[in-house]
């Protein structure tokens, strides 16, 4: 049905590329492009060697996604129908700009962040709305799991189970064990920026700020049991309270183990989570003596932490992510809990990646599939809850992320 270009060759892109290849009746031509082309080729070879697509059929390219001109030239040579941006949030705006210039539709899994400030909001990307509309192009924002599936769960609940959603709690549990003292499950730089931020939630029409990880309580997760869960700011809350104005309170919770938090505290105390540049004395590559170089401590830390892509092999346990919703139907209060549990081992056996990459890469592919099938296609810039959730929910069951529902249970929140 159409051509797809995937930008990035990390954990999430690896899963998405496998899934795109599994749906090669829809994605008839595939290109993987990233900063390091050898990683794209290794990924393409792995997929081709599983027999998902013919050998040599996946094209690869090197591209600097911070550079609009390079992106436009690549798009013009491959002429994709849609670009799946699975690089980093820093590249969202350059890739959107290039899509406009080359006439390519767009999808991502995380909102734009400036490199020098850990700040999460959609305004920069929403500002592209008129231009995408006028160009007749569609941009699908935040199509991973959270944001992504959690937003679609909310849209599904609003469509089928409530007249009015009043309370929304998104709960994200990783009960897996990768047997490392400390590791992050996706890009460490992006992950640590997110977690060390102040908490933020929506209540009675305004944002309430908390100290980082200040609010926490144990929550019970299906097949897992109780896990301490911490209130964080998460980007989908911003679009969900805008698109569902009846919501009185919206919060996001994520589980962390004691060991993880202890390491995080030390990392912060010793200044390794800093995102500003510092001067460091290094040895010149030609051996001519010491030279002063600028480094960002958090980027340096990323270089020494375990690579999230290599956690899969020994990862046990599962993730459990869902939405706990309270609201009104026919004048009566109801609760609804919709969730998915994903096994790290099953994800690894299918794609070579752990569950966190899997739960992000699969929805990214489904979003692109919705576009290719003409189900989610209107021109403009959209958060995923603005589309019809039903065909997406059907695909989740078929593509490896089945969901479950509990009606009128105890939400604990």
Report the interface residues with ligand NDP, using CB under 6 A.
Answer: 8-13, 34-36, 39, 63-66, 86-89, 91, 109-110, 144-148, 186-187, 190, 308-309, 356, 360
CB of 329 to ligand NDP, least distance (A): 29
Q: Closer CB to ligand NDP, residue 143 or residue 267?
A: 143
Let me know if 235 is exposed, middle or buried by CB neighbors in 10 A (0-12, 13-18, 19+): buried
Min dist CB 172 to ligand NDP, Å, is: 9
Shortest reach from residue 254's CB to ligand NDP, in Å:
11
Residue number, 162 or 186, with CB nearest to ligand NDP: 186
In angstroms, what is the minimal distance from the CB of 342 to ligand NDP?
12
With CA atoms as reference, report the closest residue to 140 among 309, 331, 368, 299. Answer: 368
Q: Which is nearer to ligand NDP, 43 or 135 (CB)?
A: 43
Q: Which residues contact 186 (CB under 8 A, 6 or more apart)?
A: 11, 12, 308, 356, 357, 360
CB 236 to ligand NDP: min, Å = 8
Which residues share a beta bridge with 105?
82
For ligand NDP, the closer of residues 138 and 311 by Cβ is: 311
Residue closer to ligand NDP (CB basis): 36 or 77: 36
Q: Which residue is nearest to ligand NDP (CB)?
A: 10
Nearer to ligand NDP, 95 or 264 (CB): 95
Whether residue 352 contacts residue 47, with contact meaning beta carbons closer than 8 Å, is answered with no
Task: Please tell me the distance from the alpha carbon of residue 52 to that of residue 266, in angstroms, as a whole number.
Answer: 44
User: Residue 125 or residue 135: which is nearer to ligand NDP going by CB?
Assistant: 125
Closest approach of Cβ 363 to ligand NDP, in Å?
7
Least distance to ligand NDP, CB of residue 330, Å: 34
Q: Which CB, 105 or 111, lies closer to ligand NDP? A: 111
Q: What's the rounded Cα separation, in Å, for the pair 130 and 372? A: 22
Q: Smallest distance from the beta carbon of 3 to ligand NDP, in angstroms?
A: 19
Under 8 Å between Cβ of 191 and 239:
no
Cβ at position 396, least distance to ligand NDP in Å:
13
Nearer to ligand NDP by Cβ, of 13 and 52: the residue is: 13
Shortest Cβ distance from residue 258 to ligand NDP (Å)? 23
- Least separation in angstroms between CB 73 and ligand NDP: 14
Put the strands of the sheet holding 82-85 in their side by side order.
59-62, 27-34, 2-7, 82-85, 105-108, 138-141, 380-383
| Start-to-end CA span in the chain (Å) | 45
Looking at beta carbons only, is 135 or 364 nearer to ligand NDP?
Answer: 364
Question: In degrees to the nearest 10, what's the CA dihedral of 196, 197, 198, 199?
Answer: -90
Residue closer to ligand NDP, measured from CB, 327 or 360: 360
């Amino acid at each position: 049905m159409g051509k797809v270009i995937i930008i990035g060759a990390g954990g999430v892109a690896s899963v998405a590329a496998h899934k795109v290849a599994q749906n090669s009746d829809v994605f008839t031509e595939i290109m993987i492009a990233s900063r390091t082309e050898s990683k794209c080729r290794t990924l393409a070879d792995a997929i081709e060697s599983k027999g998902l697509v013919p050998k040599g059929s996946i094209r690869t390219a090197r591209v600097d996604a911070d550079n609009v001109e390079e992106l436009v030239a690549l798009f013009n040579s491959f002429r994709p129908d849609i670009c799946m941006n699975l690089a980093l949030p820093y590249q969202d705006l350059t890739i959107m700009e290039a899509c406009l210039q080359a006439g390519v539709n767009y999808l991502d899994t995380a909102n734009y962040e400036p490199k020098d400030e850990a700040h999460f909001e959609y305004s920069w990307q929403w500002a592209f709305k008129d231009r995408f509309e006028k160009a007749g192009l569609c941009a699908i924002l935040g199509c991973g799991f959270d944001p992504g599936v959690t937003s679609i769960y909310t849209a599904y609940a609003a469509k089928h189970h409530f007249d009015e959603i009043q309370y929304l709690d998104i709960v994200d549990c990783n009960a897996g064990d990768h047997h490392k003292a400390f590791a992050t499950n996706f890009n460490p730089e992006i992950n640590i920026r997110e977690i060390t931020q102040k908490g933020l939630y929506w209540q009675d029409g305004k944002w309430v700020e908390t100290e980082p990880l200040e609010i926490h309580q144990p929550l019970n997760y299906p097949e897992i049991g109780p896990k301490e869960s911490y209130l964080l700011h998460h980007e989908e809350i911003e679009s969900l309270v805008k698109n569902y104005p009846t919501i009185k309170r919206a919060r996001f919770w994520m589980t962390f183990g004691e060991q993880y938090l202890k390491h995080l505290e030390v990392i912060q105390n010793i200044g390794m989570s800093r995102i500003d540049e510092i001067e460091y004395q290094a040895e010149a590559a030609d051996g001519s003596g010491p030279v002063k170089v600028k480094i960002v401590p958090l980027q340096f830390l990323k270089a020494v932490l375990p690579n999230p892509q290599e956690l899969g092999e020994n990862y046990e346990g599962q993730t459990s992510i869902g939405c706990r919703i309270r609201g009104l139907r026919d004048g009566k209060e109801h609760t609804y809990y919709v969730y998915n549990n994903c096994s790290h081992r099953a994800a690894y056996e299918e794609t070579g990646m752990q569950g966190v990459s899997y739960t992000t890469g699969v929805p990214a592919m489904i979003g692109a599939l919705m576009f290719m099938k003409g189900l989610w296609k209107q021109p403009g810039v959209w958060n995923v809850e603005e589309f019809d959730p039903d065909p997406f929910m059907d695909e989740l069951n078929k593509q490896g992320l089945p969901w479950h529902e509990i009606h009128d249970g105890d939400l604990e929140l």
